């Protein structure tokens, strides 16, 4: 994606952003998807959860986190006393499903990242939770393994950011749910409950 396109995305409102994502052909995934997936939840949520890419069910329905991983995420949110419809906005780094659910590729991430960055700016969350290696590495601009990113508080443009495993990973590795709960408790402990939201990022 060229610099002019990045600047244009950085100035979009929600309606224009959604239309731009739906029409995007910046990478080859735009030709193989069924539906682009913008996000889900509350656009005024104080929590922003970031995943990696839509799966088959998300691609079919055009909604984020509606498959088995989404059900597990909803259970995680409930354990935190958070509501998807009231407290949380959820989006992926990629807006289109990679074929056969393969890992996102570098050019795809770079094409989609400006959309995610604008979503975070529009939501103005008080905390970001990055779920999975690609979400964490993309937002933090690092190649550090996720195991080394967990367990501490990072910062994304002045917003606290906590790294944890992706719900789809937990479906394959249920014994690691305890680790994720530790990450979520860390996020709850650093959530800036009393800090006022501002319009500085919009």
Q: What is the pLDDT along the chain (202 residues), one digit of tens a residue?
A: 678 888 999 999 999 999 999 999 989 898 899 999 999 999 999 999 999 999 999 999 999 999 899 999 999 999 999 999 999 999 999 999 998 888 888 889 999 999 999 999 999 999 999 999 999 999 999 999 999 999 999 999 999 999 999 999 999 999 999 999 999 999 999 998 765 444 433 3
What lies within 8 Å, CB to CB, of 106 at 6+ separation is none
d(CA 110, CA 104): 10
* pTM assigned to the model: 0.92
Paired with 127 in beta bridges are 47
Secondary structure (DSSP) of 35-94: S----EE-TT-SEEEEES---HHHHHHT-SS-SHHHHHHHHHHHHTT--TTTTEEEEES-
Residue 170 half-sphere exposure, CB side, CA atoms within 13 Å?
Answer: 20
H or E segment to which residue 177 belongs: helix 177-190
d(CA 125, CA 130): 13
9-23 exposure pattern, b = at least 16 Cβ within 10 A, e = fewer: beebeeeebbebbee
State the pLDDT at residue 4. 87
Q: What does each C-alpha distance from 60 to 23, 32, 33, 63, 137 come to in angstroms?
A: 17, 12, 9, 8, 27
Decide: residue 110, CB within 10 A, 0-12 exposed, 13-18 middle, 19+ buried. Answer: middle
The candidate with the shortest Cα–Cα distance to 49, out of 94, 18, 88, 13, is: 88
Distance of alpha carbon 41 from the chain centroid: 12
| Torsion sign, CA atoms 74, 169, 143, 145 | positive
């Amino acid at each position: 994606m060229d610099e002019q396109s990045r600047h244009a995305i950085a100035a979009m409102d929600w309606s224009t952003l959604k239309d731009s994502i739906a029409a995007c052909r910046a990478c080859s995934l735009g030709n193989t998807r069924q539906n682009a997936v913008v996000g889900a939840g509350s656009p005024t949520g104080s929590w922003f959860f970031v995943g990696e890419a839509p799966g088959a069910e998300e691609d079919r329905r055009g909604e984020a986190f509606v498959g088995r991983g989404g059900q597990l995420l909803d259970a995680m949110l409930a354990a935190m006393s958070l509501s998807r419809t009231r407290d949380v906005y959820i989006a992926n780094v990629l807006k289109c499903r990679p074929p056969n659910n393969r890992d996102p590729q570098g050019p795809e991430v770079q094409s989609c990242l400006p959309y995610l960055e604008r979503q975070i700016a529009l939501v103005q969350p008080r905390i970001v939770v990055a779920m999975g290696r690609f979400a964490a590495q993309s937002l933090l601009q690092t190649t550090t393994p996720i195991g080394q990113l967990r367990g501490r508080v990072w910062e994304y443009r002045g917003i606290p950011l906590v790294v944890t495993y992706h719900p789809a990973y937990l479906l394959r590795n249920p014994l690691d749910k305890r680790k994720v709960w530790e990450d979520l408790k860390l996020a709850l402990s650093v959530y800036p409950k009393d800090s006022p939201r501002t319009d500085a990022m919009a």
